[in-house]
Structure 1
Amino acid sequence: MCGRESLLNGGLLDFVPRACCRRFISGTKPRNQTAVSEFLLLELTDDPALQPLLFSLLLSMYMVTVLGNLLIILAVSSDPHLHTPMYFLLSNLSLTDICISTSTIPKMLVNTQAQSRSVSYTGCLFQIFFLMALLVLENCLLTAMAYDRYVAICHPLMYTIVMNPSLCVMLVLISLFISTVNSLFHTLMVLRLSFCTDLEIPDFFCELSQVIKPACSDTLINHILIYFSSVILGGSALFGIIFSYAQIASCLLRMPSAGRKYKAFSTCGSHLFVVFLFYGTAFGVYISSAVTESSRKTAVASVMYSVVPQMLNPFIYSLRNRDMKEALEKIFSRAKFLR
């Protein structure tokens, strides 16, 4: 038995798991998810003097992300020359980037301003659902964009037939369906967990793998499903991108004209940069969590993964793409004329 007096007086308290002692000392059963009202997130900084600086930095990054991606969407929708499959997928990617940043940064800003660490249980579940769905959607969109470049370069005569508007819409809808179902399934699996230990999440926002850490019920199934979906969805998407660019490289090597090679490569450069940024930060999060035991360092890596690529994507596409530059110049010239 784990009686109160025997635990405290017998010196066995240090050898009994914290959750067990809480159950027996308080005489209560473990709390399940219906009793959980909120979680506690990591603070961005322990130094109060740095909080205004971090608040300003996050707000600036969020504004740049939203405005930059909105400009991409506006440029694509307003310029008839950009009404092509590549830019249709790009506008959907920009919308996804806005939603990813909106699912994490505003709550971080509110907590920083209010000097609070709490997030409601329901709010945390919603954040898990939307963040996971949007990240998987971005992964699928990047794969669809790689396929678009493959058809455009390797089968240019068939491009308008293969990449027709119906197929483009279907690719987006399938990506949205896959990401939504996957995220909903993982979120429902969190609902089955019981939380009876300290409800502290070692991250700045509700990320699935970090939320299940304070659970006192068995999370083996949750971890298996996380790794399984990561391998299936992430692995198949990455394989599709690598296969597409392997075929593109093979076609480029067979092209006799250096000018055609440069033009073909320039259409892929921006997308390749975004792919490296997306997967590079993702692998950075995985490596940091594997090699360090510091929750704060892992959390910082997670922020880099869910904030930085979304902020840089508009710059990558606008700076390296002549058509996008011209469309943005038209928008700015119209804005000056209206003044």
Structure 2
Amino acid sequence: MFELLTTWLAGMQGSSSIVLALILGAMIAIDMGGPFNKVAFLFGSAMIAEGNYYIMGPIAVAICIPPVGLGLATFINKRKFHPNEREAGKASFTMGLFGITEGAIPFAAQDPLRVIPSIVVGSMVGSVIAMIANVGDKVAHGGPIVAVLGAVDNVVMFFVAVIAGVIVTAIMVTALKKDVESAPVKNEEVQQNEEIIKQATPNTNLNKLTDITNVDLIETNLKGETRDKVIDELISKFEQNGVLHSKDEFKQAILKREEESSTGLGMNIAIPHGKSNAVKRPAVAFGMKRDGVDWKSLDGTDAKLIFMIAVPEDAAGDAHLKILQMLSRKLMDDEFREQLLKIASKEEAFNLLETIR
């Protein structure tokens, strides 16, 4: 199916660019990082390799609209969302800035009939505007971060497209959703709703990053001179701490994710992550490469601060999202990154990581 969809998209390049933009926008949003999303994303990446940046441009716009749009909706109309959804909205908004569509998943899982149409329409609107305006993206990533780091052609229209799509999503979802306290509901219905939210939103038992890391999972002086050597060092940390069933199987998951697109976010940050049955429990390893290592980052900077996330396959929709939310919020703070770069010991690093929550 993946190959058929890719061939179909490739065959559309000579047809209406508006139709192609509509399809790409819908595919990016409809499963938020799932198979349809990946087909559209990898198709755009392949077009970059062929020198065509004007397919990835609309995709880069569409990628961030679901999480940012839903985050905005929780800010402007709180009556439509439960308290834990409003809290998740803050993290969703931040994840969208980094181009992480998965921040929308908890909302879609809670109310798919209203949320999914809203994010699909918003992403389609943004994608079409970007296509008409010839917005190009030279890297295989999306969200405002690629524009800020200089990878986008026609930056003004990129943001116009994003803002338009976000507004459409926010207005549509708030119009469709009912006030959560608008009418009395039966106790059984309340319990069902609470159970759905509990399953859809990240695990509340994970309150801070240091709940799933320790001093032994920190290395302040990585030796590897290449990305893969650094990956090996951090995976060894997991193995030594009993986090993995299989070191080799987990490495395959990490490298497979890197093949999709680099986890080098720029600003000297890389967040390699793997979801695999080879992982026993969620964990994060942190490493510093003081002179940096090439991670094919969006802004061309070498990675110096490397956070490796390991989660079991059955926790992929829970712990994985929570960890990404915590990291993306904190790592946008320039002062925090500077403090990390100055630490001299594992203990200092651990104390600083305790502030990530």
TM-score by length of 2: 0.27
Larger radius of gyration: 1
TM-score by length of 1: 0.28
More helix per residue? 1
User: Relative contact order: is structure 1 or structure 2 higher (C-alpha 8 Å, sep ≥ 6)?
Assistant: 1
More strand per residue? 2
